[in-house]
Amino acid sequence: MGLLRFLLALSVVVSHTSAVSGYKLVGGVIAVEIFFILSGFYMALVLNEKYTYANGGFKIFVGNRFLKVFPVYFLVLFLSFFVNYLDGSGIFNLNNDIPLAVNILGLLTNVTLFGQDLLHFISYKDGGFVIPDYTRQFGSNSMDHLLVLPQSWTLALELYFYVIIYFVLNNKYKVYILGFILLFSWAVKVVFYTNDLISSPYSYRFFASELYLFMYGVGSYYLYVKVKTIKFHPVLIGLIYFILMSIVVYFFLILQEYINLSITGPVDIYYKESIYIVFILVVPILFHVSRKNRLDMMLGDLSYPIYIVHLLIPQLINILEIKKNPVTLLMYIIISSILLNYIIQKPIESYRKRRVAGSTPIHRTLS
């Protein structure tokens, strides 16, 4: 499933930069939301098959999530802050009359990630905080301008989900709780759509309206529990993987030729939801046939570095006055992500695995 994650990361890059050889892939919005589905799948997987059997499971789980997200984030955050300072962009291009409370809030959200999504719903005006009726009602006073890494608001949603899902999956009433969360999130989404709040951030950045996508992923994991009992011949596994990934690649290349899924209009909503349902069904099979594929895993490892570094690299290239086109820019981003992976992610990943292996197993029956 690593190639899928790699393509999703490239889709976000292309949506924020420019099309490569005319291809826009699936667009940033749908790529991010499929990432949420995959996050739900992976968290259900590790919490059912790894951390729930470990003594001190919550402590290890939280520590490992921190190690997965923050080391790469902090490095890119520091580099982006420095680059913004050099070219006078980002937070160094804001008005000087920003209240102290706003600056402090911006600092806290940049460092902790928590609350970054909420900055899209808050503006400051006349020295105070206001909640606009629609996104960016007050232009440059919208507080999301305080984010050093604008794309990292998605990580805030991931962190909220991590906390929620740990306690849900460790509760004997988890089936009912998961069902309630799914219905609640659907209801929030419907309320937004029926009240013409179909533009970002209400339909795209609000945690309650995105939570159902994580639940989709959790449901997809329980389908995988059934799928993994099927024994495939190694040759058949390779054939299934090749066919599925060929379809996925083709889907990524041709989708926006037929429908613009970068927007969230009423018509697109039905197409998006249909696509998500298909992914719920495909992901268990794709994971089952690709989980031991080394090349696939290597590509998957690059998805997070690509996502987190892709806005920094164009800035850096402009400062250094390096010539670029869409292809070379993409190459620079991928090379940077490879460096981040091998310098930071790989050593930390080894340590994360040792933390889990070193925990004391305790007997537990899954409910």
pLDDT in tens, 266-283: 556 777 888 899 889 989
In a domain, 365, yes or no: no
pTM: 0.89
Residue 366's pLDDT is 35
Residue 56's pLDDT is 59
Question: Across the strands, what pairs with 130?
Answer: 123
In a domain, 101, yes or no: no
In a domain, 143, yes or no: no
In a domain, 65, yes or no: yes
For 205-270, the DSSP string reads: T-HHHHHHHHHHHHHHHHHHHHHTTS---HHHHHHHHHHHHHHHHHHHHHHHHH--TTS--HHHHH
In a domain, 188, yes or no: yes
Domain count, the chain: 1
Residue 100's pLDDT is 75
Segments forming the whole domain that contains residue 196? 2-93+149-357
In a domain, 189, yes or no: yes
Over residues 118-160, the pLDDT tens digits come to 888 877 776 667 666 554 444 455 778 888 999 999 999 999 9
Residue 251's pLDDT is 78
Q: Are 94 and 326 in contact (CB under 8 A)?
A: no
In a domain, 292, yes or no: yes
Nearest to 75 by CA among 316, 352, 305, 319: 305
Stretches in the chain below the pLDDT threshold 70: 19-22, 52-56, 95-97, 126-128, 130-141, 196-200, 255-268, 358-367
Tell me the helix, strand and coil percentages in the chain, rounded to 5. 75, 5, 25
Question: Across the strands, what pairs with 316?
Answer: none
In a domain, 102, yes or no: no
Residue 313's pLDDT is 92
